[in-house]
Chain A
Amino acid sequence: MATGIKDKVAILGMGCSRFGERWDCGTEQLLNEAFVEALADAGIEHGQIGAAWYGSALDRVNVGNSAIPLSTALRLEGIPVTRVENMCATGTEALRGAVYAVASGAVDIALAIGAEKLKDTGYGGLPVNSKGTFNDLWMPYGSAPAGFAQLAAGYRAKYRISKEDLKRAIGRVSWKSHQNGAKNPKAHLRKAVEMEIILAAPIIAEPLGVFDCCGVSDGAACAIVTTPAIARALGKRDLVTVKALQLSASSGREQGTNEWDGSYVQNTRNAARAAYKEAGITNPRQQLSTLEVHDCFSITELVTMEDIGVSEEGHAWRDVMDGVFDADGKIPCQIDGGLKCFGHPIGASGLRMVYEHYLQLTGRAGLRQLKNPKLGLSHNLGGVPYNGVCGISIVGLEGA
């Protein structure tokens, strides 16, 4: 009988590069920036790492495939190094690999690191990728915003919300994240933006305007994990432990049958259900202290609030307007600024989210510090709402 991952693995140290248009450095430098911080935070030597998982999604605008770019950049000689890719959940997947390795007893200390160098494409947004020789023959190449914009059409039709009301609610999602991101020195976009400007921005994919889309940036984030016993032996107190790590991938049902109404993301619901079970969470709205969800687009965040069970179905847009997810609300969401302000260097994002929880839980979040947080949920969504992957991780104080 599976017992799950809860409290079996502790975070020994974390690092996160400054996110943004990092014209000054390549992926190797970004990896190094995050790694050096994590190593110092963990208080260990380079040679104590027993295995590494490297997440990067777009090898052709990054440093190429395989583990070699990481093992070369960080000079990780003689240990197992694995490269993982699972679209936008790539960072969370790297963490899952490292955590499972420690939990299994295979290694004492493992590294999870993710990076992406999106600003070497030469344009905004994500590059167009082949979907495979067969899918390329029939599947339209929509942009990422086009995939998620369809949630707006489905959500609006199901709950009979006017175009104007929904536009204002998703605008409010972005407004809140910009308020938070302005206080984060590592964020890419550090400016509060007025609602009027958000609502009047040019359309990217109806109804999503420029401010409904997350930034595009370079960055890396990193976690060093070990067992709670080893962490204590290394002198750590008030441990942050992993409570749940779950992943769900589409079977094609939403995209290929008439069962999905376009108003929610099944993968998020699957992963959240499994994560809450693993973490022993029965009432997420009451128990979770803070959320870092995949706000690649404002409508995604809004719908995610329902999918992870912190808003009732059809009510997330009202909760957003009521400020439930603001910094001073019932459950602050994207207290670090989210993808909205950090951008979304794909391989790094999942780890960047956990990094914020780690800072909050250890009382090191500076101007953004929340009062007594105990549990933080992070959420990554890869692909499109009707065909993709969802990774959810929950971390918290040991014993929480």
Chain B
Amino acid sequence: MQSVSGIRSFGAFIPRRRLQRAAIAAAHAWAFPGLKGQAKGERSMCGWDEDVITMAVEAGRDCLRGSSPAALGGLTLASTTAPYADLNNAVLVGAALQLSSQASNADAGGSTRAGLSALIDACRISGAGDRMVIASEKRLAKPGSLQEMQYGCGAGAVTVGTGDDVIARFLGSETVSVPFFDHFRKAGQDFDYAWEERWVRDEGIAKIVPQAVGRLLKRLDLAPERVAHFGMSGGPLKGDVAVAKALKLRPECVVPDLQPQVGDTGTAQPLLLLIGALERAQPGDIIVVASFAQGCEVVAFEMLRAPPASGRRGLAGSIAARIEETAYLKLLSNDGHVDLDWGMRAETDHKTALTQLYRSSDQIFGFVGGLCSACGTVQFPRLPTCVKCGKPDTQTPQSLADEPAKIATYTADWLQYSPAPPLYMGLVQFESGARVLMEIVDVGPGGIDVGTPLAMTFRMKERDRLRGWDRYFWKAAPTA
């Protein structure tokens, strides 16, 4: 009997900061009063220190909860906004996820449909070991554009494998590839150029997506009413509802659009919709997800069993973990649209010694410290001698990335340059006894104090704009 190919696990990440669309519209009201019509709900917004890499790591960690990264045979990172043009971004993500050095890590991109394409490819390659597909997107939009209101940031991760224990079975996929260019962005350009939404809706989505989905359902011999969950990315608001109607799918099967709370996360959107479906699906449910871009990619899964309890945050948890943001200038500053005068302290050179980075790559990317074999003290960094007993060469690697911690000491630094002042920093006390001086991020209106529980999050540490290099490391964030 052929083993079943399908989804083994999933995870998600949405940046906590949610910019109110009313704040965007209010800032532009002098020039574009019409944007007020779009000023409903909120969109996710990356902090200055969040990008495709950091979001991918967080979604990947969520997906890996309760399982060993060593079991993964490879990782695909799909994005149209990955930071490096010549550098395997997936290798960087894999290092933070502590994947085996033998894992085959690859980048996919070129279109917002790359995320779903990569997932389908992974499902089709059976017997090659478990593969994680992460789709992560940090979409930039020109200030004042419709996209600025509509776009969001986020990442979804899905692990695909074969075996009787997969939670959703891969049924099949269908593709339509046509030169329908609703938007594009040339290499080296910052912003998308988009055509009229009415044309996209009526001539593109309404004709192309039903064609692809219909063909898939017919091939799988599935009647429209069998579809329990339908998600569609790449279209305007309510585009999914119109397609479902055209296909005679049940109206309640449409997976809630992410537009009101998150925005359109591009490449990540179909995976996040799939995750949304997986979170509410019952065994036996059919899930169909379509990604519209230069045609359409569509995939179908059958839910087999409820996902095992792993404490995952998932999509619902990611949406719920939010900090309301009303300062539109933060978006402009974080995304580089305005260059604020941060003063001379911001002039510091942050050249990274790549030699040193490689020597300490498990410590920096994996937050792997040491456990002293002589006295049992867990510590970071991992130096040649133990911080407590002073014995040399006793350190065995131990990661702190998933260990609970709390604040031992802290301050809010208004003097030091930070693109998100104040710079919260302090001594972070881990349950194991390890203690590390760290930056603390995502401090909400409730503030922090000695004893505040913390979880680790992978972020950018410094940006070396002179050379186009970003330092990544871990920061601590309040858990609540």
Contact = CB atoms under 8 A, between A and B. Distances in A.
Contact of A138 (B363, B387, B390): B363
B415 interface: yes
B414 A150 contact: no
A365 interface: no
Nearest to A150: B409
Interface string B349-383: 01011011100100110000000000001011101
A154 B450 contact: yes
A258 B390 CA distance: 16
Contacts of A104: none
Given A138-B364, A154-B408, A146 B434 contact: no
A257 interface: yes
Interface stretch (B250-258, B333-341, B436-444): B436-444
Contact of A256 (B353, B360, B387): B387
Interface in A187-238: 202-206, 208
Contact of B387 (A145, A205, A257, A386): A257
A123 B345 contact: yes
A142 B387 contact: no
Interface string A127-170: 11000011011111111011001111110010000000000000
A256 B434 contact: yes
Contact of A146 (B425, B438, B449, B461): B425
A125 interface: yes
A257 B379 contact: yes
Contacts, number: 142
A152 B390 CA distance: 29
Nearest to B387: A256
Contact of B379 (A133, A136, A140, A256): A256
B84 to A, nearest CB: 18
A122 interface: yes
A262 interface: yes
A153 B409 contact: yes
A150 B410 contact: yes
B410 A153 contact: yes
Contacts of B34: none
A2 to B, nearest CB: 22
A257 B433 contact: yes
B337 to A, nearest CB: 25
A37 B100 CA distance: 67
A128 B413 CA distance: 14
Contacts of A121: 344
A205 to B, nearest CB: 5
A252 interface: yes
Contacts of B353: 133
How extensive is the interface on chain A, given as a class? Answer: 35 or more
B427 A255 contact: yes
Given A141-B416, A146-B425, A154-B450, A255 B461 contact: no
Contacts of A125: 345, 415
A122 B344 contact: yes
Contacts of A153: 409-411, 426, 449-450
A251 B414 contact: no
A364 interface: no
B185 interface: no
A153 B426 CA distance: 10
A258 B298 CA distance: 53
A134 B381 contact: yes
B387 to A, nearest CB: 4
B414 A204 contact: yes
A160 to B, nearest CB: 11
Nearest to B357: A137
Contacts of A141: 348, 416-417, 462
Contacts of A143: 413, 415-416
A33 B436 CA distance: 44
A253 interface: yes
Given A137-B471, A138-B381, A150-B427, A255 B415 contact: no
Contacts of A387: 437
Interface string B454-480: 000000011000000001011000000
Interface centre among B344, B348, B364, B411, by most A CB within 10 Å? Answer: B411
B357 A262 contact: no
Interface string A294-308: 000000000000000
B388 interface: yes
17 contacts: A125-B415, A128-B348, A137-B357, A138-B381, A146-B411, A146-B413, A150-B411, A153-B449, A202-B414, A203-B414, A253-B387, A256-B435, A257-B434, A258-B433, A262-B427, A262-B450, A386-B437
Top 7 nearest A-B pairs (CB, nearest first) are: A146-B413, A149-B411, A150-B409, A143-B416, A143-B415, A262-B409, A133-B356
Interface of B: 343-345, 348, 350, 352-353, 355-357, 360, 363-364, 377, 379-381, 383, 387-388, 390, 408-417, 422-423, 425-427, 429, 433-439, 449-451, 461-462, 471, 473-474
Interface of A: 121-123, 125, 127-128, 133-134, 136-143, 145-146, 149-154, 157, 202-206, 208, 251-253, 255-258, 260-262, 386-387
Given A134-B356, A205-B412, 12 more contacts: A137-B356, A140-B423, A150-B410, A206-B412, A253-B387, A257-B379, A258-B408, A258-B429, A258-B434, A386-B409, A386-B427, A387-B437
